[in-house]
Structures are given as structure tokens and as C-alpha cells.
Chains A and B, each alone.
Chain A
């Protein structure tokens, strides 16, 4: 995981609540066994016109397809972003498309966890703050935002400044690009000890009859 701290970029406004992971990456792309190559399928059903058989065309009115938003590294959406399925493919698609951060009032739990493990900064702002940013970035696609993870702020050059909360450990891992498994294995001795006792609690074993 790449360390991440300050992101300054224009932002794509997606003013909808409850954007679920089926929209972020539809099921057909979950059949792949690779971890990369999902960016081109991000928001597939919204992004492409598939009504003509054997012909795929970009929908010009979908925000991701508008040339003025190309290269944006921040996505802004309404509440409960990432609800639904646990597919980490959603985080991979967002990341591999080029987004490094998502701003929304709330995120669904599993998506929140998946995003953190892929170096995506999730900034939870209030409904009002998100509305302000959605308006500014809709009115002016060139409008730039700065997310400062260390300072836990989102700012722009028109006086917008908001603070977001983040779990200190998650922040530490993002700032340093740390791998979770390695971190857990620091506690290997505790784990070995716990397991010795816990294994005697036969009710905790999946296959007690064996």
C-alpha cells in the first residue's frame, strides 16, 4: 500500500445517496481472479450505453465521461456510500480508476474497511458541507479541493474548510502505507497463547465431531 497524505485535485460530484457496490462494480466483473484491471468497469451500467447489442458507447451525460472531470482524484457522494455487497472489487475499481479519496456524509461499514485496506481516504463531512462541495464542483468542474489526512481537513481556495474524524490507527496505517497482516503478526506470541487455551473450548471449533 502506498503512503498517502495530501491530495489536491478537482472532484467528481455524484449527488446520490445509497450508492451501492452493485452500481460501483456490477457482478459480471467479479468473476475475474485478478486484483487489477477494474478501473475501466467502475460504475459500468451508469457509464456505458449498452442498449444496442454488441455495441458499447459512453453515456456523454454521465459525469465520469465528461472531459472536464477527467483526471479527478476525489469523488463526492451523498450518504451511505458503498452499501450492499462486501465485494472489495468496489474499492479496487475506485482506486484503479484513479480516485484516491471519497467524500460523503456516511459510508457503509464493509466498504469503509475495504477502502482503508486499499489506501483510499474516506472523509466523512456533514450533509451541509457535502452539499456545498457538490454545488461548487458541479458549477465549476475545475474547482480544486485539498484533503490533508495528517490535519484531517478538506479545504478549497474559496474559504471552505472542514474537519473530518478518522480512527487514529487507520490514519497511521494510511499515512505510512502499512500492511495489516504484518501488523497483526507483531502479536504472534499473544495469538499462540490465546489459541492454546481457546482450542480447548471445543464449542469454538467448526468441526467438533471430527
Chain B
């Protein structure tokens, strides 16, 4: 056994190598497979056609999130869209047939698949976790190796509990220093994507390190790891520490008693060893960061709130110039427009990026005592039933509702608009989600990605607003 210093990623990888056949990819063991309705039906069909079973049903957890309406409990049980209803029913039937634990639409543990893994304590440090969803990278916040897969791979995991994988390279991004007032985890990750590009980490697993990362709550860490895929990364990871352990302790699927102590002892061996070598490194000074707003149709196209929509001269390459041109047109924005002057129609607060309790608390603190601007449609979609319950226990729902927000049932909702929550053509949205692609939130819809606080402030003023100035004025008034 080699004693060379190892990275967090290398330790987790090594502990899951089943076999390394010569000239072929490594067969990697998968500890947890999360299943949702959209990317699984064809995989279950594949198993049936081949007469295969699920090798380890105990290592699968399923829920419905993408298709479910968020309007009411009744609407969720009686989905009007027959194609959506059929997909949800297919998962229900498949889970029963193949023996997978399923959190149905009104179950107390239902939610976006990347919310419920951590909430249940199913997501734990040192595990390998996959799901037919690119935002599986979220679970890396716990020091797990977690990545999104396609439906063929979903079937492969079901049949074998493994995946053939080529070993990715490692990339450490160190964010040191204290985060400035008004700057959140969302702003950190948007800044990183802007710096390295949407394909900047293709082929790599990122480890986020540094004092600014350490200081984040689990919610903030999940926001960062969640958007690793937006930089092209296979996965994002953060070393487990006391914050991680405190989050997990006592959760339904977390170890208890002496098993807990043993687990913590194991988890403490996982962080990257002193002197371990990464294939690539990037250092960011937290003090240089500011609240971010995307202006274009790719998460890398963003400015800080005091900035402007960039001009063509600011495009680094010919390809960027072409993308900028297309984005100006699609987003109906002129180069040089100050970000603060961009008026919005809609606010979406939710998603696996920013639909957690801390996000809702932060947004509620901004909107408390205010009302959304005229003609603004604003909605809060808690990421899970657990978040919804917690928020209601704290009275956040009342704050949002009296400020003119709609308070919805949990699901993916307007992050991708597979359910009825979509933008109309031309509608402009301040969104706490993860992708501003053309048509992502509805055909012709225009998405600007921001933090929950920034989305909340924009809802009140009707245009993007510097949360730092807002908070100072607010603080002075109270």
C-alpha cells in the first residue's frame, strides 16, 4: 500500500475499486443510487427485457420531483398532464416491482432528489453516489464522490451496483479569506464558472478548499458543489469536517451510538493529506468577490451587480463573440446596460441549487415588511417537504405570502419547467436555479441566475438591486 499523500478524491475512489481490468475502465462500486421519474423508466424497461433484477435494492432510493405540480396537494395527486402522470406512475410501479424504497409525492420525505439524500442522512462522507441527473454533484458537499449519469448507466448501476469509469483528473480550487458582506455561496460558484469557463473543469473532479469554503454551512457547500457541473466538472467535493458531522448526526439513515463514533473516525481519515498533488490548482481571494448576476445564456456569462452587460470587445475569443451576439439577441439586452437597470417580470426562489432552509431564511429576511413590485410574479418553491415544514414552523411562509409571493409545494418546478411552472416567451426571470440556457425555464423565457437574497431584493424593487446597499439602508432604517 502506497503511503504517498492522497487527495480526498483518490481516497474515496480507491475504496470503491472493484477491479481494474487491463486496458479497460475501472469497475467502480456505487454505494447509493438516487432515482427519479425522468431518467429511469427506460432503464427499468431494459432490465425487464433482459430478465435482470436490481442487484442491491437496499442501495437505491427513489422519489418524484421533476414532473410534479407545485400548486396544491390535490394537483400533485391528480396530474392533469397525462404524459407527466404516466411517467410518475411508471416510477411508482417500477419501485414496487423491483423493491426500491420510494418517497411518493405527498410523503413527508419527498423532495428534489438532491435535497432528500442529505436530509435523510443517506448521503454521507466517503460514499460513491450517482443519479440520472447532472446536479448529483451536490452530494460532494459531504465529501462523497457524486456524479450524474445517463439512463444506460442508470440501468448498469441497477444491474451491477457498479459503473465502468475512467479515473478523472483532480483540480483544487482554494477560496481563502472572509466573504464580503452580501456575498453568498452562489456568488462564489458563479465567479468560479466565469473564471474557468463552462468547460473549464471537463475531465476533472474539483475539490473546493480554503477558509471561505470551510466557513460555509452545509447548505452553502451544497450550492457550490451543485453547480460544479456548470463548469464541466465530473464532480465537486468538499472535505468532511465538524460542520458535516453536526449536519448528519441524528438523521434517519445516519449511524447511531458506537456506530456513529466509528463512522466519524473513518470520515476524519478522508480529507486530503498534506502535500498531496493535484493536476490543477486555482486560488481565489474571497475579498475580491461581489454579488453576481448572469446576463447571458450560459452560467459563465455573468457580471457583478455593479457591472454592466459586457460589450463585444470584452469577448475573449471569436467563439465568445458569437455567443455574446446570440445572447444579446435572445436576452434582449444591449451591451453596456448596467445590471441594476435590468427590469424583471418574475422571481423563482427554489431548486436543488438554492431551495434549502437557509436560502429561504435569507430571502425572507430581505422581503420582510415589503411587498413585491407591481406586476411581478414571485414564487417560492421549497426544495423538499422537510424544508417546507421547517419554513412554516419558522413562519417564513407568512412573510413570503404577505410580501406577495406564492408559497408552493416542493419539486424542481421552474428550474427546468417540466411541470406547469414555466416562463412565457419574453418573460424575464430572476432565478435562484442553476442554468440560464435558452428556453430552460420555458421557450423564449429569459433567465438571470442570482443568489436567494438578490432574487428577493429584485422582487421588491422590480429590477436587479445591489443587496449590499439594500441591506445597509434596511439596517439603518430598523
Contact = CB atoms under 8 A, between A and B. Distances in A.
Interface of A: 15-18, 20, 22-23, 26-28, 30-35, 45, 50-51, 78-80, 83-89, 91, 106, 108-110, 113-114, 117-118, 167-169, 180-181, 183-185, 187, 190-191, 194-195, 198, 201-210
Interface residues of B, number: 90
B217 to A, nearest CB: 22
A35 B42 CA distance: 6
Contacts of A16: 322-323, 326
24 contacts: A17-B319, A18-B198, A18-B199, A20-B437, A23-B437, A27-B417, A30-B38, A31-B86, A32-B83, A35-B45, A45-B439, A85-B133, A109-B203, A110-B148, A114-B151, A181-B155, A184-B156, A184-B160, A194-B19, A203-B267, A204-B127, A206-B124, A206-B127, A207-B101
Contact of A45 (B202, B232, B256, B438): B438
Contacts of B83: 31-32
Given A86-B150, A109-B234, A79 B58 contact: no
Interface in B20-34: 21, 23-25, 27, 29, 31-32
B440 to A, nearest CB: 5
B202 A208 contact: no
A207 B323 CA distance: 46
A23 B41 contact: no
Nearest to A167: B166
B416 interface: yes
Contact of B150 (A110, A168, A204): A110
Contact of A194 (B18, B50, B202, B262): B18
A205 B87 contact: no
Q: Which residue of A34, A194, A207 has the most chain B CB atoms within 10 A of its CB atom?
A: A207
A80 B254 CA distance: 39
Q: Which residue of B24, B45, B155 has the most chain A CB atoms within 10 A of its CB atom?
A: B24
A30 B164 contact: no
A85 to B, nearest CB: 5
B25 A169 contact: yes
Interface string B222-254: 000000010010100000000000000000111
A57 to B, nearest CB: 15
B152 A184 contact: no
A80 B417 contact: no
A64 B282 CA distance: 41
A180 B152 contact: yes
A169 B165 CA distance: 11
Nearest to A111: B150
B27 A191 contact: yes
Nearest to B257: A209
Q: Which residue of A23, A33, A191 has the most chain B CB atoms within 10 A of its CB atom?
A: A33
B199 to A, nearest CB: 4
B27 A187 contact: yes
A16 B440 CA distance: 18
A33 B86 contact: yes
Contacts of A26: 439, 443
Contact of A195 (B150, B161, B266, B298): B161
A113 B149 contact: yes
B232 A31 contact: no
Interface string B430-465: 000001011110010000000000000000000000
A185 B71 CA distance: 45
B84 interface: yes
Given A23-B439, A79-B319, A87-B39, A114 B27 contact: no
Contacts of B31: 204-206
A83 to B, nearest CB: 6
B59 interface: yes
Interface in B314-362: 319-320, 322-323, 326
B418 A31 contact: yes
B8 interface: no
Given A31-B87, A86-B134, A118 B152 contact: yes
Contacts of A183: 24, 164
Q: Which residue of A31, A32, A35, A106 has the most chain B CB atoms within 10 A of its CB atom?
A: A31
A190 B437 CA distance: 43
